[in-house]
Structure 1
């Protein structure tokens, strides 16, 4: 009987130990799943934060590059304007030479054409001044805002 009791106690201890081990494995698996879910949440949060930071950095770089590109474009336009002004000076110099030897009728035609051209230039400069005033006002409003 003592052997049966000892055997039963050993069997009960083995069954209890096996149950304890199985329960530990089950709980360990639950903890691992919770840790995995937490890690995935952190990764998703960090990915969102990284995307926002990336977007801010991109906008910042574009804001820095835009004036540089605009300055380069304006410098190119100024160079073209300088070349065109040089050609116009050369043409005017040639016109002065031709006027000196031209007939009176040709000089009158030249003066009429020059007056029309100067009138058109005056109109264009007036339009340009109005646009420049509008841009200056827009800039003041932006700075004030």
Structure 2
């Protein structure tokens, strides 16, 4: 073998090794860049998830505060309604006592007093009838408002489960 052949062979081996190391370094750089990109994407996803979680927590707090406020208002209204009902019960009992006393007085009353009493009762009945009509109209309005509120309330559909013994189609 000649010195030129050995030199050419050594240069070829050296060139092959240099190409090998260069490609290895390039592959290492590509892998590092891919890892960096993956890490960056994971960080962005994690940041977005934390932001979404924070928005969900804020929304949950707002819904809970709104619900608690509505619940407190409803409790106050319920207390007021119970007090009004108790007052109406006391009024009813008082009227019963007055009617009982009036019945006893009517037995001994003169015909003129009975006519005046009947006239007063007729007027009172007319006022009660008017008030009853107003109350019925208000109750109808409330019922319509309640129905509108129920119909407008958002409904989250529930997924249908497959019937027993069947398999879902995928």
TM-score normalised by structure 1 residue count: 0.61
Distance 2:63 2:145 in 1: 26
Deviation at 1:55, TM superposition (A): 4.3
> Structure 1 stretches of 5 or more lacking a match?
1-44
Runs of 4+ in 1 over 3 A off after TM superposition: 48-57
2:106 maps to what in 1? 99
Q: Does 1:135 align with 2:142?
A: yes
Distance 1:142 1:56, change over 3 A: closer
2:79 maps to what in 1? 72
Distance 1:51 1:134 in 2: 36
2:168 maps to what in 1? none
What is the count of residue pairs matched by the alignment?
99
Distance 1:134 1:108 in 2: 39
Distance 1:79 1:106 in 2: 34
Distance 1:134 1:118, change over 3 A: same
Distance 1:72 1:98 in 2: 39
From 122, 133, 137, the equivalent of 1:126 is 133
Distance 1:128 1:86 in 2: 21
> Structure 2 stretches of 5 or more lacking a match?
1-50, 153-170
Deviation at 1:71, TM superposition (A): 1.2
If asked which structure has higher relative contact order (CA below 8 Å, sep 6+), I would say 1
Deviation at 1:60, TM superposition (A): 2.4
Deviation at 1:84, TM superposition (A): 0.2
Distance 2:71 2:145 in 1: 21
Distance 1:52 1:138 in 2: 27
TM-score normalised by structure 2 residue count: 0.53
Listed one character per residue, the Cα deviations across residues 42-70 of structure 1 (whole Å, up to 9, x for unaligned) are xxx9xx96876654443221122222221
CA RMSD of the aligned region, Å?
2.0
Quick check: which one's helix share is greater?
1
